[in-house]
Amino acid sequence: MALRFEVLAACGAARRGRLTTPHGTVDTPAFLPVGTAGAVKGVPPQELAASGASILLANLYHLALRPGIDVIERLGGLHRFVGWPGPLLTDSGGFQVWSLGHLRRVDEDGVTFRSHLDGSPLRFTPEGVADWQARLGVDVAMALDECLPWPVTREAAEASWRRTLGWARRSREAWRGPGGLFGIAQGSAFRDLRERAAADLGRLDFDGYAIGGVSVGEPAAERLAAVEWTAPALPASRPRYLMGVGYPADILHAVRHGVDLFDCVLPARNARHGLLFTRHGVLRIKNAAFREDPRPVDAACACPCCSRLSRAFLHHLARAGELTASVLATLHNLRFYLDFMAALRQAIELGTLTELTAMFAIRSTGEDPPDDPHPGSDPESSDPREKRSP
């Protein structure tokens, strides 16, 4: 197998592991910064690495539209094209089945999109998606799946899973890439479908497994339940990936149920709206209370923003609309998330996950912070609720 996963320590169901890929190792639990078009907005690759990122996510749908798979392949593959030497994961485009529902048509063979850029058709099939990701040279590729909206009937969810399972089989047979291929378990909010999906995928012997169809507008209780049902039913010997779930409390909950990998646009997107994560809660830097605040955003953080600048200066930049405010805030939020994952790994080794919850002052309910902006649908990110990568 192109990927190797080993569990180094455990604390209950939580796992401290290591994923070895063709382009390096990833210590898990790990967070994947989302570079939709190959880059996190405002953050160059060297800054991502300096923040502690070990793996980056890019989106196949957007890369296929521009600059195109052929262009990237001719330029030496995705790693060289985006300037990221470490592991890369690409989504399959299945999430756009939900987020761009008005621009696609699903049939038993695949999905036809109308480009959100110019309306031109773009055909996704399990074999085509596997081939594109192999040509990009990614370390982790995702099988094409159908991500359902919320709410959905049981009949529709069951029919969708039969279709996604068929696509998973075809993807597995077609995969010829240098890295590994993950299957994606769906099932919406139906426990038996979730557990059946995990069992069905397990028999296909993927290199890893993902939990999809979460954070598509469902209540927090349904979001948490989907993880609790699905994660323990996935093969324990392979990495488990929760797609698009994003708040620290949600990540901690999933880690406690055996999930290893996470991605979300939330740190970068919220940073652009002036929301910063700290060990004492969410800070809204545009608030007038920070106009003359000389303290760093988070005194325990070593990011470029916190190590040199005050809340007052970041407040000034944000209120003035300076691009630098978004860059600094993004660097801070990413560093917070990556530090949080490092703390999770250490806590699993030491058996102190409960104490970690208190240290980061995060709610264990998985609920969203109040007054989250939810700025509306953006085809460049594909998730109007800021939680899922494109």
Q: Give dist(CA 202, CA 227) in Å, integer.
A: 16
Closest alpha carbon to 262 in 3, 20, 25, 30: 30
Total Cβ atoms within 10 A of residue 324: 15
Based on the residue annotation, tell me whether 263 is a catalytic residue of this protein.
yes
Q: Given 91, 145, 260, 368, which residue is catalytic?
A: 91
CA–CA gap between residue 311 and residue 30 (Å, rounded): 28
Question: Choosing from 145, 260, 263, 368, which is the catalytic residue?
Answer: 263
Catalytic site includes residue 109: no
Tokens of 42: 């405002």
How crowded is the C-beta side of 208, counted as CA atoms within 13 Å? 29
Tell me how far apart the alpha carbons of residues 230 and 199 are, in angstroms, rounded to a whole number.
9
- Enter the tokens of residue 236: 């324990």
Give 324's contacts (C-beta < 8 A, 6+ positions apart).
317
CA neighbor of 96 nearest in space, from 390, 335, 321, 364? 390
Q: Write down the H helix ranges in the chain.
A: 45-51, 60-65, 69-74, 78-82, 96-99, 126-136, 154-174, 191-202, 220-230, 248-256, 266-272, 304-308, 311-320, 323-350, 353-359
Dist. CA 233–CA 37, nearest whole Å: 33
Q: Which two tokens stand for residue 115?
A: 């480009």
Contacts for 154 with CB less than 8 Å, ≥ 6 apart: 190, 193
Q: In degrees to the nearest 10, what's the CA dihedral of 9, 11, 14, 18? A: -10
| Residues taking part in catalysis | 91, 263
